[in-house]
Structures are given as C-alpha cells and as structure tokens.
Amino acid sequence: MRRNILPMAIALSAMYMSIAACNGTGQEKSDKDSSLVSLQGASTQQAAGVQADAVPYVVAENYFVNNSVKDSIPVKITTRAVFDTYFGKATTMGSSGTPTPIDFDRAYVIALDHPTTNKKTEIIPMSLTRSDGKIIFNYREKQGDTLGFSIHPLLLLVVDNQYNGELVLHKH
C-alpha cells in the first residue's frame, strides 16, 4: 500500500498541472513562446524621438526571498544557480499554487525587492519597454496598513531572452 502512494501522488500532480495549464486566462501569446503574457494596456511610448516597444513578461508567482539573503539581490538574473541562491519556492493550495516555471535557457528574471517591513507593501509593474537597446522598467510601490508581522515584498518578472539589453529602472 505504501509503495503505491508515491506513484499515485505523482500522477495526481501531473493531472492537476495539465488541467491548470488548460485553464488559461486567454491572455497568452500565440507565437513561439506562449508562456509570456503581453503587457495589458501597454502603449508604445515616445521618448526623445525614439520609438519604445512594449516587452511581454510574466509575473513569477509563489517565490520568496531566502532568509539567508543578507546582501542586495541582483536586479537581472540570468541563471538558475544565481536565482536559487536568492529565492525559494512557496507552493500553496489552489489552482495557482505552484511556482511559475522559469526556463533560464530561454528567459531571464527581473527581480525587485523591498527591504523587510511591517507595512503592507506592493511593487506594481507599470510598463516594460525596449528603446534604443535598453530595457526600461517603470514601476511603483504602494504602501498600506501596518501589519502584525514582517514581510519582504518581492516582484519577479520573467522576460524572454530576445528582449535583452541594459536594464533601466524607473520608480514612480
């Protein structure tokens, strides 16, 4: 009986992941990389006469900053080894409970974290564009009520390697 539990758990997990993958939101791109979601409401921006193109990305869910991290986190992460140094997976129950898969052969991660705080804090992406060989990320931070515990706010964006370039951050 005990030997049958592990294969059954693996089969149920695979079935769950297949069902979850089929229940998309309809926002997925239909080109070669259907795992990247286009920016909703992103408009092409004009900056000093240079055309800025919207860059698709996926917000990576269900990751946390490892407690062992004392240094600053790199903003651009291009390998699994570096990523695993800073972040752990936080699997939760429900249809969106598995961590977002990241294939570092095809994508890189933009990581923004806020120092540990007891205030409800969100890092909100506004736009990600490519202009003049640079990747420009506009975001804002929103702080709310005081919490009875500490949090380490984090935003991870998964970006296809075809949209590579010098990363420029603009906090609004």
Give residue 37's pLDDT: 38
Short-list 78, 97, 96, CA closest to 86: 78
Sign of torsion, CA 75 28 152 68?
A: negative
**Could you tell me which of 25, 47, 51 has the C-alpha nearest to residue 38?**
25
Give the pLDDT confidence score for residue 119 in this predicted structure. 96
Give the H/E segment covering residue 86: helix 80-86
pLDDT digits over 24-62, tens only? 433 333 333 333 433 333 333 334 445 679 999 999 999
Residues 6+ apart with CB under 8 A from 152: 64, 65, 113, 114, 115, 116, 117
Per mean pLDDT, which range of 46-50, 84-88, 102-106 is the poorest?
A: 46-50
